[in-house]
Structure formats: C-alpha cells, structure tokens
Chain A
Amino acid sequence: MKRRVSKGGLALFALASVLVAFAQPGLLSAQDTIKLGAIWGFAGPCHMLSESAVKGIKIAVEEINAGGGVLGKKLELIVRDTEMKVDVGAREVKDLILREKVNFLEGPCSSGVALALQVIHSEYKVLRITTMANTEAQVVDKFSPYVVQIVPNTYMEAIAATRYLHKRYPKAKKFCTIAPDYEFGRREEAAFAEEIKRLVPEAEIVYEAWPKPGEKDFTSFITAIMAKKPDAVHSSLFGGDLVAFTKQAAPYGFFEKIPFMALYDLPVLLALGADAPDGVMGFGRGCFFMDPNPKMMEFAEKYRQLHGVYPDSWAVQGYDGVCLLKAAIEKAKSTSTEEVIKAMEGLSLDSLRGKFSIRALDHMGTVPCYQGVIAKDPKYPFKIWKDISRIPGEEVIRSEEGVREVWKKTGVVR
C-alpha cells in the first residue's frame, strides 16, 4: 500500500515536472510570442488610471493578435502591480525581466516609481514605453536609451497650457498657481513660470500654493488666492484633488471672478457632473472628446461597448503604446531590443491622437497637448470641452539644444 502511493506520487511528480518544464519560458513558447510586461500601480490615486490604461492595452493586444500578431508572433500580456511603491515596483520589474523574461515593458503610473524602475530595466537592457508617468526627467534629466515616452511630458504640457491661457487672456499679468506638492506639480509650475515670463515679460506670480497630494479641504487656499486678486490662476491639480477644489471654490464665486485652468480631463468631468464649471479652461492628454477623429471615435465606441464608459486619455495612451511597439518591431523586422530602439528613433505613428514621431535624440514622442473650455454637449450626459486646441508636440517640445544643456548639468553623455 505504502509503496503504491509513493510510486503514484513519483509518477505525478514526473508528470508535473514535465508540465512545468513546458511552461517555462524559453523551452516551448518564447519563440512564438512577444511578451509585454505591463507594470502599473493599482493603489491609491493610481488605481483607476492604471485600470483604464490596462483596458486600452488589452484592446490593442487583442486587435493585433486577431490580425495575425507582429511578425507572425502573438503578443502576450503580463500585468503587474507596483502598489505605487518604489520597492514593490523594483521587485516586480525584476521578476518580469528575470523570471517572465519579458521582451518589452509598458507603464507605470507614478513619476516617482517610473524613475526608480528606469534604473533597473536600463541595467537589464529592456525597453520601456511610458504612457502615463510624464515627468520630463525620464527622457531629459536622467535620459536612458531604454525609455520611449509618448505622454506629453511636464514641460510640453505646461508650455502648451500656458500658451492657451495667454491666448484667451492676453492682458493677464498677475498670476497665482496652485499645484500638488511633488515631482509632477513642481515641474509643471516651473515650466508655467518660464513660459508666461517669455510671453508676458512683466508677468508676476504673486502667490504659489502647494497643497499636499490628497488634500481634501482647499477652503483656506481659495480665500488666500482670492485675497491676492490675480488676473488668472494656473493649476496642475488633477483627479480627486481637483474635484474637491472645484466644489469648494464654486460657492465663493471663484470661477466667475478669476480665469482658472487645470487638468480637467474626463474622469474629473464625470465625477463633477453638473458641478463642472462652464467656461473654465482645462488641459489634457487626449481622451476621446479632445480629438474626435474617426480612428479615435471608432476606438471610443468599441471601448464603450466593452466597458460601459468612454475611454479617458490613460486608455488612449495605453493603446497607442502597444501600437507604437508593433510599428517599431515591424520596422526593425526583429524583436531584439537594440534593433527595436533603433527603429523607434524617428519612427512616425498614425495614432489615435493623430500623427506623432519619436525624436531620435531623447526618445520623446512629439505627442499633441490639448486644451479647451468646459461646456455642455447635448450628445453626452456629462460636460466636455469646446474651443478645443490641439498643439502638436513639435511646437512645445524642449529644443535639442535645451536638452543638451540639461544633459551638461546632469552628466548625460549621448
């Protein structure tokens, strides 16, 4: 009796080892698929953005596989969670590279985590496409050849928004800013200050407010800003913070008295509903209504049928990231990282957001930046934008000389 069991156990063990061996990458499947590691943060403020991004990525992967894959190989998606923590992100990205043996990476959500991941995957020479974390440090200050960025970076986004603000309020000279107190907010407002002084030499920033990310009560900031009587306010508040700010500022008559601009993208407009203030300026990275071209609207309809909501810019950019990868692999006719990077440089993509290309120097995509004014639209049960402006990335990207200047300071050699 005892022997039989152990014999059966042995057979089972042998069978299991064979199965495991076949499941191991490199033995059976690695030749036939291209592995894409999607590394996102499903915690805190990143949770919802990451869910949208993965939805967009999945649609792209399914479409590509249904059309025969890339170079005859199917794309295989592996999703991992950074929990918005640097240490967890580092562990997961190493696991993706060493154990799962992914060919390429896409993500993450937070700029802080992105900079930490960058050190690791660059060391292992794995290419990452960044479609959400948008600190310019990824491609400029801490340039790595293993990063390609197709979300407007903090510099481009703020320069474009500032030009729109100036165009609508050319006489404004006295400004206030209010932005979340971390990497993203600091960089956006620094670029705003730089650009507004270029456009209006006598411009003055009379008050800068730096609420902590996740602040729920902006009342004191609102009264402090109103006391300064600025001509306009530039803000890089977003998400739940912007919802809270908007609701608290409205009863003060803030939006009637002071021109205001912030990251009013789709999720914020959905959350605010009727509370979204008409006539207030927004900037964003390209959700469906910002660029209603036929390709985008086709994607929007497909997304809505699958998920019951319209795609935000996170989903759009996630989708574009996979398409860019496909285009680069096809141009390179290879999945080798170095070949794909070479193909990426100068590559032009007809994306959901129109045409853009990847600048060879720093791997920054010349992706468009969008601005508009909040307004009702009878076609949708929520508010969208009117007077939409699409500023192509070429017009606002930091000049090559500018990039080289930063590199001199940070010690990047290229």
Chain B
Amino acid sequence: MDAIYIHAERCLDCRACEVACGREHGASNIIVVRVADRFAAPLMCRHCDPAPCAAVCTAGALTADDGLILLDAGRCTGCGLCLLACPFGLMFPTADGRAVHHCDLCADRRDRGLAPVCVLTCPTAALHREKHEHFAKRLQRRAAADILRAQSPMMEVRR
C-alpha cells in the first residue's frame, strides 16, 4: 500500500513536520511523540482498512477511497466518535471543536504532482511517501549489511 513510511530512529524531534503541515493545512495532522528523552517518532493517520473511525462516523464523513480514508469536512458534525475510535489518537479536533482533521497524505498537493510537505521538509529524511517494497528494501539492505559485518568483521561493508 501507499503510505508515509517512517524511519523513526532518524527522528530528532525537531518539529519541522508539524510546523510545515500546520502551515499547509491550518493545523498539523502529524504529531511528533517524544519518548523518555531518548527517542521520538512522527505519527500520522495510518489509513486503516477497515478503519475504526469510518466505522463509527455517524455522518458518513469518513470514507475509504483507493487505500486512503478521506474526510468530507462539510459532512462532519463534530460528534467526536472518531476521536474515540482511532486506536492511535491520530484524528484531531479542530481548534473551534466543531469538526475534526487528519492526514490525507497532502491529497491537494498530489493532484499537482507534489510530494507531502512532511516528506519534503524532514531534515533527516525520516519520512518517505512510497510503496512498501521500496521502504522495505532499505531496511533489508541495512539488515544484510549488519549481518555480514557481524559474521565477517574483516569485511568492508558499505550499505
């Protein structure tokens, strides 16, 4: 599936993604979570299938479309059930509390051939918008290099 994949070990809690997303969308749909002053990870809507938020939505504002959960803000009544249903806490109330917002992988930019802003702005390239096999290939290559280095310490392994 298409999604934003995260190399969380590269996240340095700089908040560039939150500020960029907030600028583009009025409020940020991505949130960086800091853990024990040792790690951080940026998190955004996982576009689940089936999606608990869409399942509880009383107004039909959340629908699945081609692997993404789309929000029709015009239909949202602000009932807040989706805020309760999301297991990750990645649906957010709007500032006035009357509706919700979440990450749609910068759908409006995709129509113009542009990548999501969090992906473009991340200073350490922790975020990638790509097919899973490309993301996995990077991890597999790194794992192979680690194994080879461990088993043959004399080997010069460049990833």
Q: Do A and B come from one complex?
A: no
Residues of A near any B CB (own CB < 8 A): none
Residues of B near any A CB (own CB < 8 A): none
